[in-house]
Amino acid sequence: MKKVYSSAREALDGLLFDDMLIAAGGFGLCGIPELLLAAIRDAGTKGLTFASNNAGVDDFGIGILLQTKQVRKMMSSYVGENAEFMRQYLEGELEVEFNPQGTLAERMRAGGAGIPGFYTKTGVGTQIAEGKDHKDFDGETYIMERGIVADLAIVKAWKADDTGNLIFRKTARNFNVPAAMCGKVCVAEVEEIVPRGSLDPDHIHLPGVYVHRIVQGTHEKRIEQRTTRKKESA
Amino acid sequence: MPWDRNQMAARAAEELEDGMYVNLGIGIPTLVANYTGDKDITLQSENGMLGMGAFPFEGEEDADVINAGKQTITELDRTSYFDSATSFGMIRGGKIACAILGAMEVAENGDLANWMIPGKLVKGMGGAMDLVAGVKRVVVVMDHQNKKGESKLLKACTLPLTGAGVVDRVITNLGVFDVVDGGLKIIECADGVTEQELRAATEATIIN
């Protein structure tokens, strides 16, 4: 079965519909599926819910879909860097469900691993626990969180082979693995598609069983906080 | 003289032991890395890295190597990378020995508030709730008083909690406290701060 598509638009063909739930990889602007997000903006799909750790900045990442008012709800852990996001959120145009970062990652992983719910001590005794099932194990209290199964997962990897085996690069792996796992369908954009057999099978980060479509492209890979030190002070 | 930011960070670094895997929060906790001396400490960045190095030299920034504050950083010879679910698995699973983080309020029962102020812009808790619930030991580093001069060590937190009963030790510009049964125990006064001054500046119950 052919998994390689020639553009982000083609790779999403037939997968988008209004009011869908999309899981997106990335942390801040690192490892975000920037080409697929731009293609979703161009497709004009509305009422989107995103399970994504962050919401991008105003003109990059999920931020571009906020500008076009295509997003109805965010499931995120931190959304601080986006003025348009804050405007829509304060005006009540955008719904936000805050999830502790590890809970969000595990909800994705669990959803992809056939686990509809799990217990965690993260958030016990806080607002996050309100209305959730509590249960004691070995004398400690835990709350139940639900696995997430998304209509579509969009992720960004470094290298893929044409069967969809993925390798990520450094901290750009982040949410891409759990996001990919929880999608009913997963589309991956990569920096390079290499011939099968050229990736070491022992070094695959995400097996191709999770990845249904792949597109190669050129990535801006914007840096959110450029911090450096001077050579002479080293 | 109360401790300044760097002195607080240096004092916090004394909490770390050789061989520890540690997560440092943003602000003063980040400075702790400058004071670990000869101790073999591995820093975790919860976006998926163990063995976090210094900021890169100018021109050597890599968009794929960032810390949890989204700053460009570098890797070390011991570095490993992993996904976010694995990262919080090691946090929740108690594999990270210690987290050092800032706070808005700490209560005498160990409750911690550092993620939202009602009526103000809420940006989210990030990984703070997972960290305080999961790591073996939580050390808070913060100013003793807020900008109005009110104690941040309280009988009960007024702000929404990040974690309930999670704090083990608090290092402020005035001293060091442990959370124990019945309240806070003074462990140490900052240089030139008397115990009377410390007590007077603290709302929380002090048991010693």
Write the DSSP assignment of B93-160 as a string of letters.
Answer: TT-S-EEEE--SEEETTS-EE-S--TTS-----TTHHHHHHHSSEEEEE--SB-TTS-BSEESS--SP
B64 → closest Cβ in A30, A205, A228: A30
Mode of pairing for the β-strands spanning B75-81 and B49-52: antiparallel
Would the CB atoms of B129 and A128 count as touching at under 8 Å?
yes
A120 CB neighbours in chain B (<8 A) are 92, 133
How many residue contacts between A and B have a Cβ separation below 8 Å? 184
Would the CB atoms of A231 and B72 count as touching at under 8 Å?
no
Q: In which domain, by residue range, is B79 found?
A: 5-207
Quick one: pLDDT at residue A231?
Answer: 80
CB-based contact, A203 to chain B, within 8 Å: no
- The count of domains in chain A is 1
Would the CB atoms of B133 and A121 count as touching at under 8 Å?
yes
Q: Which among A234, A177, A45, A117 is positioned nearest to B55, based on CA atoms?
A: A234
Q: Is the pLDDT of residue A234 over 70?
A: no
A172 CB neighbours in chain B (<8 A) are 63-64
Mean pLDDT computed over A158-183: 98
Mean pLDDT computed over A66-83: 93
Would the CB atoms of A227 and B73 count as touching at under 8 Å?
yes
> Residue A42: in which H helix or E strand, if any?
helix A34-43
Would the CB atoms of B130 and A128 count as touching at under 8 Å?
no
Mean pLDDT computed over A100-113: 98
Q: Which among B45, B43, B64, B193 is positioned nearest to A158, based on CA atoms?
A: B64
The type of residue at A228 is T
Q: Is the pLDDT of residue A233 over 70?
A: no
Assess if residue A10 is contained within a domain.
yes
Report the residue of A119, A171, A174, A225 to disrupt the B interface, i.e. the one with the largest count of B CBs within 10 Å.
A171
With a CB cutoff of 8 Å and minimum separation 6, the contacts of A68 are A41, A44
Q: Which residues 80-99 of chain B have a CB within 8 Å of chain A?
A: 81-89, 91-92
- Please check whether residue A154 is in contact with residue A32, taking contact to mean a CB–CB distance below 8 angstroms: no
Q: In which domain, by residue range, is A26 found?
A: 4-116+149-216
- Please check whether residue B11 is in contact with residue B36, taking contact to mean a CB–CB distance below 8 angstroms: no
Q: Which residues 24-53 of chain B have a CB within 8 Å of chain A?
A: 45-49
Assess if residue A228 is contained within a domain.
no
In B, minimum Cα distance to A97 occurs at B124
Quick one: pLDDT at residue A50?
Answer: 98
User: Could you tell me the CATH number of the domain that includes residue B66?
Assistant: 3.40.1080.10
B91 CB neighbours in chain A (<8 A) are 102
Assess if residue A223 is contained within a domain.
no
Quick one: pLDDT at residue B1?
Answer: 81
Mean pLDDT by runs of 10 across the 208 residues of chain B is: 95 97 94 94 98 94 96 96 98 98 97 92 93 98 96 98 98 98 97 96 96
Question: Active-site residues of B: which are they?
Answer: 46
Sheet of A117-120: strand order equals: A117-120, A140-146, A134-137
Assess if residue A142 is contained within a domain.
no
Sheet of B112-113: strand order equals: B112-113, B105-107, B153-154
CB-based contact, A67 to chain B, within 8 Å: no
Report the residue of A75, A82, A174, A230 to disrupt the B interface, i.e. the one with the largest count of B CBs within 10 Å.
A174
- The count of domains in chain B is 1
- Retrieve residue A133's tokens: 């099932």
* C-alpha distance from B9 to closest chain A C-alpha (Å): 20
Assess if residue A175 is contained within a domain.
yes
Q: Which among A40, A50, A41 is positioned nearest to A72, based on CA atoms?
A: A50
Mean pLDDT computed over A116-128: 98
CB-based contact, B190 to chain A, within 8 Å: no
ipTM: 0.96
Q: Which residues 146-175 of chain B have a CB within 8 Å of chain A?
A: 160-165
Residue A122 is classified by DSSP as T
CB-based contact, A77 to chain B, within 8 Å: yes
Q: Is the pLDDT of residue A86 over 70?
A: yes
Q: What confidence category does residue A232 fall into, taking pLDDT thresholds of 50, 70 and 90?
A: low
* C-alpha distance from A199 to closest chain B C-alpha (Å): 18
In A, minimum Cα distance to B87 occurs at A102
Please tell me the distance from the alpha carbon of residue B16 to that of residue A166, in angstroms, as a whole number.
37
pLDDT digits (tens, 9 = 90+) for A172-194: 999 999 999 999 999 999 999 99
CB-based contact, A100 to chain B, within 8 Å: yes
**Buried/exposed B123-154: b ≥16 CB within 10 Å, e otherwise:** bbbbbbbbbbbbbebbbbbbbbbeeeeebbbb
Would the CB atoms of A78 and B73 count as touching at under 8 Å?
no
* C-alpha distance from A164 to closest chain B C-alpha (Å): 18
Please tell me the distance from the alpha carbon of residue B95 to that of residue B90, in angstroms, as a whole number.
5
A226 CB neighbours in chain B (<8 A) are 61, 72
